[in-house]
Each structure stands twice: as C-alpha cells, then as structure tokens.
Structure 1
Amino acid sequence: MPHITVDYDKPLHDSFDRRRFALELHSLAAETVDGITVESCKTRFRCVDEVVIADGEPGQALVHVDFAILPGRTTETKTALSRAVLELVRAHTADVPGTVVHASVDVVDLGAAYTKHVGGGTSGHQ
C-alpha cells in the first residue's frame, strides 16, 4: 500500500520520465499522508495505445493516476494528495512540445478484502 497506477498516452512515451516521476511521487505520498512510507509505495505504468480527447484534435495527450490507499484517511487528506499528485504530473509533462496534456488523479480507498504478501523466494541457484 499504496497501489498507484498511471495510465499515459502513447505520444508521451519518449518524453515522460516515468522512473523519476515514480520516485518523486513516492516521496510526495510519504510527506503528504501519515502512515505511507516510500518503501510501501508501488507504481505501475500503462501506456495507452489510443486515446480520443474531445473532438479528436491532434496535439492532445492524457495522463490519469489512480492512487489506492488504505481506508481511514479524511477527505481533506485525499484532496491534498490528489492536488499534490496533479501538480507533480503537470511538472513532469509541461515540456512536451506542441501537446496539451489532460491530467487527472483519483484517490480511492482499497477495498475491505484487500490483502497482500511480501516474501522472498529462492534464487533458483543450487
């Protein structure tokens, strides 16, 4: 926890430094929400091959962040996190030439049935 999924439009693939974004995002989350640590953050990225925005004019791209956290945080905390993440997205996509980036963030509670396992395995070497 948290589980973060970032969907981004294919035109951003070469200009969006996803690793740097994730590392900054993890620090931001730990600073913004009590109980979140950098070590607990997990971010995955999905490049979306096709996105149609409004009337389909070229030069537009999409970034959407789903941020799932354990329940119990106030609406104010979730709003502060959402706004901070949105600003981070904007900072990381501001220099895409000729592209208007439509960015959004949704902070939600993980479900009551959420469970996880963190464990090791064997290296496969004898």
Structure 2
Amino acid sequence: MPFVHVEYSERLTETFDRQTFAREVHAAAPGIVDAPAVAFKSRFRRIEESYFGEGDDGIDAVFVQLSILTGRTPEARERLAETVRDLTLKHATAAEGRRLHVMVEVREMERESYRFHKD
C-alpha cells in the first residue's frame, strides 16, 4: 500500500514511459499522503480493446487508480489525483492524429480490513 493500478491503450506501448512515470509517482506521492515511498507498488496493464462514447476510435486512454488507506483529507486525495494526472500527461503521448484521455481516481481502502504479508 499504496497501490497504483494503470491501464493504458495498446497504441501507447511505445509512447508511454511507464518506468519513469512510476518512479516519479513514487517520489511525489509519499509527501502528499504521508506514506513511505517504499510502500508504493505500481502495476501496468495494456488494454487491447476499448470503446469510447459512441464508438470514437481516435482516442487512446490511460486509466489510473490509486488505492490508499483511509484517513487522508479530501484535499490530499485531490492533490494526489491532480499530481498523478499531470505526471501521466508528462509521460504518455498519443500518436499524431489521435487524442489522449487520462482518468485518475483515488480510492480509499478500509484500514480495518486491509492485510498484507511480506518476507
């Protein structure tokens, strides 16, 4: 915890610098939500197929969901979403003639029901 789940259009495979994005999220986010950088974990999934609106095929997208434990202020969650949105826009570029949509959601996980194990 916190978890960063990223889904991105397959067309962005070559133009989305995922490793640098993750490094910068892991560097910026801890100060916003008061969590150690070592606790951040990011994973990426390529979207092979998607459908937007009424079938607009000129859109590539990045969906980011951040899961954090409860207890952060609404302002901190908003700042985290904005920071991650800006980092996504910095590191993902749509191909010429295509549009890029970036969506970021911050979700809270209940502390009472969260468990983990590490060696």
Q: Which amino acid aligns with 2:114?
A: Y
Deviations 1:55-113 (A, max 9, x none): 32333111011100111001111001001111111111246432211101110111331
User: What is the root-mean-square deviation of aligned Cα atoms in Å?
Assistant: 1.4
Match of 1:58 in 2: 57
Match of 1:6 in 2: 6
For structure 1, the residue ranges without an aligned partner over 5 or more in a row are 120-126
Q: Which amino acid aligns with 1:102?
A: H
Higher helix share: 2
Match of 1:114 in 2: 114
Match of 1:40 in 2: 39
Which structure exhibits the higher relative contact order, with contacts defined as CA atoms closer than 8 Å and separated by 6 or more residues? 2
| TM-score, normalised via structure 1 length | 0.86
| TM-score, normalised via structure 2 length | 0.91
Q: Percent identity?
A: 34
Larger radius of gyration: 1
Match of 2:18 in 1: 18
Match of 2:29 in 1: 29
Q: Which runs of 4+ in 1 moved over 4 A?
A: none
Check whether the contact 2:29–2:80 (CA below 8 A) recurs between aligned residues. yes
CA distance in 1 between partners of 2:73 and 2:15 (Å): 35
